[in-house]
Amino acid sequence: MHLPQSASFCVKQGKNKYEYQTDNYGGRLLYNDDSNSKVQVFGDSQVLGLDIETIQQHYLNTLYKESNFIIYAAPNNGPYEVINFLNQNKKILQKKIVVTFSFSTDLYRILKYWNPKNFVALKDYELDEILENPLKYRLIVFKNLLLNKNFTLSRYDNKKMQDLFLNSDQEEFYSNLIEYFNELNNTAIKLDLEIDFIVTHPYWVYSIDKENNLLELDKKLNEKVEKLICNSFHSTKKINKIFISKVPETLQLNDLTFDKRHLKSSKINLKNYREICRI
């Protein structure tokens, strides 16, 4: 999946509107006026930056302050879709790239049954059409809501996402995470890439206290999440830098994006793998 290619358009999130500019492969362009270098970033909607308009607002800017960003990411873009993109577009890849893993949803997108066709409403050729005719987008979404039983505009709330995780087979999660990371590493070897790997915690490690407008960290749940992260992802020769987000014990409810399914970029604090995993 990708954004419209070679386009400028506006994305509305609640009452806010954000300007997007993309290259001819659908990568979102974010510029640092003082830099001529660029970093290619791959992932899903968390790294795309739903709540930002400038590179200074992006959470990766703390790690790559001297660079412009090209972010090849889109909603429902899973980890294996990223690997497919790397293999299909190796001619445009830099020697060093950044690959992100959003634990909120990517954990489920590496399961055997995941098929992006069940969750994506638009085909490539329709992206340009909806920029000229936004009404057509609404019609396509409506058609998918009627005819595609897997397609939805909503996601489980935090409590249901927590229950889904806790009631799932943890060994299956672990084996799928290992399998995915091995494939990413093998892709890096085959394409001769160096990869910085970024893992962001799931928004659903927080329980919502609506009365006080707070997000409260579920510490036991977070321990299970971090155990999976730390046991599954280890530095290799080609993936030798791993960063993990550090989660505070409380946040404000409005520290989630408008859709309540992503943490705002300003609230993502990246730490070296060893600081989180204590190895």
Closest CA to 29 of 70, 73, 74: 70
Question: What confidence tier does 76 reach under pLDDT thresholds 50, 70, 90?
Answer: confident
Stretch 239-263: mean pLDDT, rounded?
A: 94
Question: What confidence tier does 44 reach under pLDDT thresholds 50, 70, 90?
Answer: very high
CA distances 112 to 16, 172, 175, 176, Å, are: 37, 10, 11, 8
Inform me whether the pLDDT recorded for 244 exceeds 80: yes
Stretch 9-29: mean pLDDT, rounded?
A: 87
Inform me whether the pLDDT recorded for 145 exceeds 80: no
Question: What confidence tier does 146 reach under pLDDT thresholds 50, 70, 90?
Answer: very low
Ranked by mean pLDDT, which of 18-22, 38-42, 72-76, 135-139 comes out on top? 38-42
Inform me whether the pLDDT recorded for 63 exceeds 50: yes
In the chain, the percentage of residues whose pLDDT exceeds 70 is: 84
- pTM across the whole model: 0.85
Write down the pLDDT at residue 101: 98
What is the chain's mean pLDDT, rounded?
A: 86
CA distances 93 to 38, 75, 168, Å, are: 11, 21, 36
